[in-house]
Amino acid sequence: MPMIYKEYQRNHVILPGREEALLSFLKQDYKGMQHKLKNAVSSNSEDALTWSCFDVLASLPYLDKASALDEILEDSFQGDSPLSFRARNLTNKDISIHIGKSYTGISTKESTEVDASIEAPGVLVFIEAKLYSSVSPASPPEKKHDQIARKLRVGLDSIQNDDLEFFFVFLDIAPVDLLFKRTKKSDAVETPGGGFKDKWRSAWLFDYYKHGRNNSLRPLSEVLQGIDAPPVEVVAKNMGWLTWAALFKCTLRAALAAKQ
């Protein structure tokens, strides 16, 4: 069972002066409900962890921030990241880290809230965070695409008419290969709340879009129909997988470096 704290402050890393910003984040409304505020006292809250890491990263001086983001990307792409913030010679004002920002595609007008996003000249990064839950599947007619496909579509559609590169990072509790198994119930990931959730779905869909099937990226091409996107080979190359353990390590390293 998750730990339920008496106050949401106990469940978040709150930098001095960021109290009101956190409360504003938690009070965000989605379909008439304040889901973030409702779950703010639960130790299972993905939003609490996302805020606690990325708000710290956003507060860092430029060099520490750029170095931390590059380390995160290195871990996301197995040491072969297609993006380096340090190599772009930016300033601190050039890199913006957002938590829970909503984006809308230019041509499709599809919208989505992104757990964490990074904006810089020529760069847009979406980070989809999951802890004990899995991605939501497609449920036509309201949701024609699963959660990963929606993020890809909106992110790529958001960069039209701009000289931007789009990157997508999926953040989850374990490496993609360890979450991939789904052959029988005993292979599923047991969650702290008891029972089993379809954690495999996130890993399966990510691999399905990034690597395709039978040496073909047709699955990715199909979900991007109607989007003026780069070649699917570029989109797939810019998809990375990150673990919470790696994110925690990079965040702590950056916070310590900033104090020296």
> Which tokens go with 191?
């969650």
Tell whether 1 is covered by a domain. no
Q: Which of 98, 78, 89 is nearest to 155 (CA)?
A: 98
- In degrees and rounded to multiples of 5, residue 129 shows phi and psi of -105, 130
* Contact (Cβ atoms closer than 8 angstroms) between residue 99 and residue 54: yes
Tell whether 77 is covered by a domain. yes
pLDDT, tens only, 14-23: 999 999 999 9
Tell whether 159 is covered by a domain. yes
Give residue 215's domain range.
8-259
Tell whether 239 is covered by a domain. yes
> Which tokens go with 217?
């990226």
Q: What is the dihedral of CA 17, 18, 20, 24, to 10 degrees?
A: 170
Mean pLDDT of the chain: 90
Residue 223 has pLDDT above 70, yes or no: yes
Tell whether 3 is covered by a domain. no
Mean pLDDT of 153-172: 89
Percent of the chain with pLDDT over 70: 92
User: What does the angle CA 116 – CA 155 – CA 251 come to, to the nearest 5 degrees?
Assistant: 25
Band of residue 260 on the pLDDT scale cut at 50, 70, 90? confident
Rg (CA), the chain: 18
> Which tokens go with 19?
């109290």
Tell whether 255 is covered by a domain. yes
pLDDT, tens only, 31-85: 678 889 999 999 999 999 999 999 999 999 999 999 999 999 999 999 999 999 9
Tell whether 134 is covered by a domain. yes
Tell whether 142 is covered by a domain. yes
Domains in the chain: how many in total?
Answer: 1
